[in-house]
Amino acid sequence: MKHIVLGISGGIAAYKSAELLRLLMKQGHSVQVVMTEAACHFISPTTLQALSGRPVYLDQWDERTPNNMAHINLGREADAIVVAPASADFIAKLAHGLADDLLSTLCLARNCPLMIAPAMNREMWQNKATARNIAQLESDGVAILGPDSGSQACGETGMGRMLEPLQLAEHIASAFQPKLFTGKKFLVTAGPTYEAIDPVRGITNQSSGKMGYAIAKAAQESGAEVVLVSGPVSLATPVNVRRIDVMSAEEMRDAVMREVAGCDVFISVAAVADYRVANRSAQKIKKGSPVLTLELVANPDILAEVAALEHPPYCVGFAAESENLAEYAEQKRRAKKLPLLVGNIAQDAIGQDENELVLFDDQGSYPLRRADKLTLARQLLQHIALRHIGARK
């Protein structure tokens, strides 16, 4: 895990910093808090010391450091500095290289990544001076996390609200992920498909899309360009992922075939309906006979079609089985000539935030212990990078 310096500048959003600190420590990081004088008007150093288990640094001339150089010592120990909230005033200091307190001096003397979470009134955020300062910091390589739009402490509504602690913790975790696939393009399918019977009814399944979205997020974290072809789900698009929404299996197939050119890795996570109604009714089918017979025809096998291309990407399939996982998953992998297939027990995974996976390839099977789906997605990508993509270079 990493050692993070959490900087807190003056702003009402400072109350959220306590929760961010807790989440970072829950991820396993050690956290050293550094506050400005203004921040102490919004949240107590005692609170943050109790949560972090470390003394909070406030003064550039703190005598606890033997050489009286806290701005050097704290920065050299850090894997990253995160300032949350970053007020308009503090952002201006960073942009102009000012160093008149411990936190601004620490940021100027750093040799590690710097991330800031802006938090201010909407008019302050929209001010041209703030826009220039943010542009300068982005040019200098500072990561800008947010802000978001919403209600503000002043009673107004608009851009400038600090991202929620959970969002910030996810951004920070993403920044620490190894860039295994820089320059690579990933194509990922996720969610269910919906096969219409008539304008108001259809055939679908219980897939939540969570595993596919976690894989898209993990791939983006790893430096890849990611295109996510998604069936109907209620999930937010991962940051910097291009999402294409579809409904039916045929729409998903068309979207995949449009995007597959130049793709390095194709991960087929979507629970694509095997069948669709042969003759969809243009009008709502009225209730009449106690028996309604539907003729079903097979949908295209998207994964098999991509794997059979003359120059296919590295194809990864998913098999959700209710029994005999190893047998059925390996049969599917061999039938479709896939280098890697990921299997799981459907009733233990669908709609859940956690999962347990088994990876099947030519060398054998590799179980991944039960964990949250983003953790499993990262482990899957490490497997692809180390055992397969690396071996093909």
Question: Residue 196's domain is classified under what CATH number?
Answer: 3.40.50.10300
Final residue belonging to a domain, choices 119, 153, 175: 175
Same domain, 144 and 201: no
**pLDDT for res 271:** 92
Final residue belonging to a domain, choices 115, 150, 175: 175
Residue 113 lies in a domain: yes
Q: Which domain holds residue 72?
A: 3-175
Same domain, 163 and 191: no
For residue 391, is pLDDT > 80?
A: no
pLDDT single digits (tens) 230-250: 999 999 999 889 999 999 999
C-alpha 224 chain-centroid distance = 13
pLDDT single digits (tens) 214-235: 999 999 999 999 999 999 999 9
Residue 107 annotated among the catalytic residues of the structure: no
Please state whether beta strands 265-268 and 185-190 pair in parallel, antiparallel, or not at all (unpaired): parallel
| Cα–Cα distances in angstroms (integers) from residue 332 to residues 271, 276, 303, 328, 361, in the given order | 14, 21, 11, 6, 11
Q: Which residues fall within 8 angstroms of residue 96, CB to CB, at 6 or more apart? A: 133
Q: Of 40, 107, 112, 154, which one is the catalytic site residue?
A: 154
Domain count within the chain: 2
Confidence of residue 389 (pLDDT cuts 50, 70, 90): low
Q: What share of the chain is helix, strand, coil (3-state, %, to 5)?
A: 35, 25, 35
Residue 246 lies in a domain: yes
Any idea what the CATH number is for the domain that residue 61 is in?
Answer: 3.40.50.1950
The Cα 391–Cα 393 span in angstroms is 6
Decide if 160 contacts 121 (C-beta within 8 A).
yes
Q: How many CB atoms lie within 10 A of CB 364?
A: 7
Residue 158 lies in a domain: yes
Residue 48 lies in a domain: yes
**pLDDT for res 392:** 47
For residue 95, is pLDDT > 80?
A: yes
Same domain, 124 and 191: no
Same domain, 214 and 354: yes
Same domain, 145 and 31: yes
**pLDDT for res 54:** 93
Residue 54 lies in a domain: yes
Q: Quick one: which of 326, 313, 330, 224 has its CA closest to 268?
A: 313
Same domain, 157 and 111: yes
Same domain, 249 and 102: no
Same domain, 127 and 272: no
pLDDT single digits (tens) 33-60: 999 999 999 999 999 999 999 999 998 7
Same domain, 158 and 300: no
Q: How many CB atoms lie within 10 A of CB 390?
A: 10
Q: What is the pTM of this model?
A: 0.80
Decide if 218 contacts 381 (C-beta within 8 A).
yes
The Cα 253–Cα 248 span in angstroms is 9
Same domain, 109 and 32: yes
Q: Of all helices (H) and strands (E), which one includes residue 275?
A: strand 275-277
Residue 49 lies in a domain: yes
Phi/psi class of residue 283: alpha, beta or left (left: φ > 0; alpha: ψ in -120 to 50)?
beta
Q: What are the phi and psi torsion angles at 17 (to 5°)?
A: -65, -30
Residue 56 lies in a domain: yes
Burial per residue of 196-219, b for 16 or more beta-carbon CB atoms within 10 angstroms, e otherwise = bbeeeebbbbebbbbbbbbbbbbb
Largest CA distance in the chain: 88
Residue 180 lies in a domain: no
Final residue belonging to a domain, choices 175, 196, 217: 175
Same domain, 245 and 278: yes
The Cα 263–Cα 316 span in angstroms is 13
Same domain, 190 and 210: yes
- Give me the half-sphere count of Cα atoms (radius 13 Å) on the Cβ side of residue 323: 0
Q: Which residues fall within 8 angstroms of residue 271, CB to CB, at 6 or more apart? A: 191, 192, 193, 205, 207, 231, 320
pLDDT single digits (tens) 274-317: 999 998 888 888 887 788 888 999 999 999 999 999 999 999 99
pLDDT single digits (tens) 114-157: 999 999 999 999 999 999 999 999 999 999 998 999 888 888 88
